[in-house]
A and B are shown apart, each in its own frame.
Chain A
Amino acid sequence: MVNDVKRRTVLAGLGASVVAAAVPGSAMALTTAEARSLIDDVVSEITRVINSGGSESRMLTQFERIFDRFANTAIISIRVLGADARSASQAQLRDFTVAFRRYIARKYGRRFREFIGGRIEVDSARAVKSWHEVQTTAHLQGEAPFRIDFLVKEAGGRNLFFDMVIEGISLTKVEREEIGAMLDRRRGNLDQLISDLRSTG
């Protein structure tokens, strides 16, 4: 029994090294350390903005910039649109991505004000399926700490996060519901939705 387990471990180890040898170093996906360092940057940028004491509109613009720089807005937009992404034109997808980024920065940026005086700690990073999950804990004043996970994956040579999960609640899934409801209300008119996302808030 013990021998058997050992043999399997050795075989698994061999298999892993063969795979590693077959994949050239440059093509290897990002490492856990890289994923973690990306989220370290995201968290410190967010904290800097929150404690900058700037006006709300200034903060919201800065959040939009952070989102643009660190998040995979292309993937998020397509996932949020769901089946409607397939029937959208390239131009519509591009416009939606920009409008959605603004909408997200405003919707969640407003909530970040509650973080003033609080802090986000990066706890750990691990490989999950084909991506990395970086776990952080938000410590807000007078509230029980809660978990925020960032899902990070290399895309086109850049390391970006493609979802943010608060106590198990995925921003992508929540917004897929919301954007879906918005589209239904506008009888599936994506252009109308884009212009509404641009002007609200």
Chain B
Amino acid sequence: MACVLVVALSLSACGFSKPVDGIQDPNERLNRRIHAENIAFDRFLFRPASKVYGRGIPMPIRRGIGNFAGNLNLPRVVVNNLLQFRIGKALKHTGRFVINTTLGMGGLLDPATPMGVEEDRTNFGETLYVWGFKEGNFMELPLLGPSTDRATVGMIVDLFTNPLVYMVPSPENAIGVFSAGLSKVGDRYEYSSTIDSILYESEDSYAQARSLYLQNRRFELGVEVTDDEVDEIDSLFEDLYGE
């Protein structure tokens, strides 16, 4: 698997990264085309479907489905915690999985969060970050939206990092994918005013989505403010207020 990984990463050109602050988007034309298709998909299918789902299914049930999907994902989170050498987090998420699977009725409820055992989401994209791989180029994926080279490789590898996939027999394990899909539809409904404002009220929704995604992703990974940015701010204050 390591070999496949190295090949995938070199293909995605993760090695040629510029400073993390800037936006690296050499395939902008292609990305914008995919973005336009994603917008059409959202406008005519995803958004209307999420309205039907959100209005038809009561909130506690929608939340239960979201919890269930999140719980099934936890073993994958634990595997990635271990790959990141974060033993404490791996133990915490194992505890969370046990609590929510038992007390939480198979994961439909989330008693772990009020107990202080909340989830810190992670994935193989973060594992690659921890291992020192660069972010690579920005890319917009069909249907899935904004990503980077590193995040995309992570997503592909994560298809194989959930132990449950191997432990649960074949027709039953489809429930994981199914609930994760429903959970996404639920999120589209839940955060609809924010998502609508980005996709439909901006004069350049592509640039907005790209900026929001990259900033939030770097924040989650714990990337620090760059020296360039500090210099920009300091010299601006210097110019205006002459310290």
Contact = CB atoms under 8 A, between A and B. Distances in A.
A155 interface: yes
Interface in B198-228: 202-204, 207-208, 210-212, 215-220, 225
A79 B204 contact: no
Contacts of B237: 75, 130, 153, 155
Nearest to A185: B203
A22 to B, nearest CB: 15
B203 A173 contact: no
A155 B241 contact: yes
A182 B203 CA distance: 6
A181 B204 CA distance: 6
A83 to B, nearest CB: 12
Interface in B102-149: none
B233 A178 contact: no
A170 B215 contact: yes
B193 interface: yes
Contact of B202 (A129, A130, A178): A178
Contacts of B210: 177
A24 interface: no
A156 B243 CA distance: 9
Count chain B CB atoms within 10 A of each CB in A131, A162, A177 and give the residue with the most.
A177
A156 B208 contact: no
Contacts of A155: 237, 240-241
Contact of B215 (A128, A173, A180, A184): A173
A168 interface: yes
Contact of A181 (B202, B234, B236): B202
Tell me if B's interface is mostly helix, strand, loop or mixed. helix
A130 B230 CA distance: 8
A153 B243 CA distance: 12
Contacts of A168: 215-220
A128 B218 contact: no
B234 A174 contact: no
A56 interface: no
Given A155-B240, A177-B204, A130 B215 contact: no
A153 B238 CA distance: 12
B216 A174 contact: no
Contacts of B219: 167-169
A78 B212 contact: no
Contacts of B234: 129-130
Contacts of B211: 169, 173-174, 177
Given A168-B215, A169-B216, A177-B211, A130 B233 contact: yes
B233 A156 contact: no
A75 B240 contact: yes
Nearest to B238: A130
A140 B209 CA distance: 23
A114 interface: yes
Contacts of A169: 211-212, 215-216, 219
Contacts of A177: 204, 207-208, 210-211
A123 B230 CA distance: 24
26 contacts: A75-B237, A75-B240, A79-B232, A79-B233, A79-B236, A111-B194, A129-B225, A130-B230, A130-B234, A142-B59, A153-B237, A155-B241, A167-B216, A168-B218, A168-B219, A169-B211, A169-B212, A169-B215, A169-B219, A173-B211, A174-B212, A177-B204, A177-B210, A177-B211, A178-B207, A178-B208
Interface of A: 74-75, 78-79, 111, 114, 128-131, 142, 153, 155-156, 162, 167-170, 173-174, 177-178, 180-182, 184-185
Interface of B: 59, 193-194, 197, 202-204, 207-208, 210-212, 215-220, 225, 230, 232-234, 236-237, 240-241
Given A153-B237, A181-B204, 17 more contacts: A75-B240, A78-B240, A79-B232, A128-B225, A129-B230, A130-B233, A131-B233, A169-B219, A170-B215, A173-B215, A177-B208, A177-B211, A178-B202, A178-B207, A180-B207, A181-B203, A184-B204
